[in-house]
Structure 1
């Protein structure tokens, strides 16, 4: 009498949102390209203890999460960076982290997980995409049939480009202010200019510099220098 064995999951295969919904991970939500969880802890020490427990488990599994630690709160993100999506490795680690969280007596809050994306209207995304990737030091990727620029850590918003008709330089309703260390400003400006942008105002430097992409969309690089103390 033969006995069939269940084929183990492929640790390199990315899982779809529907597949992840079937995994029944109540503490976790699949947002864009990774699993997110958020936990309330009694205090900072409790959060650190949970981080320590997660670190030990992650080392044992040879798969590591991204963690954001604050007083009384721990946010966790899971992605298999080698394949750019969520795999069975992330599911296994998610279950382990949830088990550790329950043992620590912390409270999950999956309802407050979120991912912010920014859409920029443009008639020619290829013209301005390099500027924004250089300015923000983002990676350029293809996802869902479109080119996006994305922060590799997942901490800052992804930017995608919304097709529109050609138009004059817009009167922007928002622009990006990016605070960076003073010692990297010159290199970041040079990269943005090399990518097709222009430095249009440095009269307030070193507090901030105003740059513009090839279609007139503005952004500011800012530092702590040149500002009055509050």
Structure 2
């Protein structure tokens, strides 16, 4: 009788992290070469990554339900998978916000927001890559700290541009509403990265 191959939960989480980085990279390219006429089409790959990610999460939850032994506590796997999925959902959500808010022209530093997101997602992806051997990893804590540092830079940029939007240069109320939502979307993705990094940091302490 052929035994079913043991499900690799760490590999499944790595796949989600890789997909998050892929989605972030695609959106970064779209923002850097912004064309509102092509935006919806350009984002189709991100939408597919998000849909595939949902299926990956379902598969992992099903495998978790039937697994006899897991590498770390089940609830910890659930939590980390959920945090990784939130990053992908946040990136995909940004594509819909740009589309339904009908953003025709980017404001200054939009690319800086996206570059920070890409750096934060990459730091998370590198953390997940190290997580399966966290007891011997020299880079995991550095990557977690780096994610938190990037999120703090994002907070500063978010606060600066909200103030500019409301207080200094924008008189069109529709533009204010649109960009308040866009900036909020950027902030949510950065927060999702920080949340994921913090979960990994807590799990390292718990399992050490």
TM bucket (normalised to shorter chain) is under 0.3
Which TM-score applies when normalising by structure 2? 0.27
Larger RCO (alpha carbons 8 Å, 6+ apart): 2
Which structure has more strand as a fraction of its residues?
Answer: 1
TM-score by length of 1: 0.25
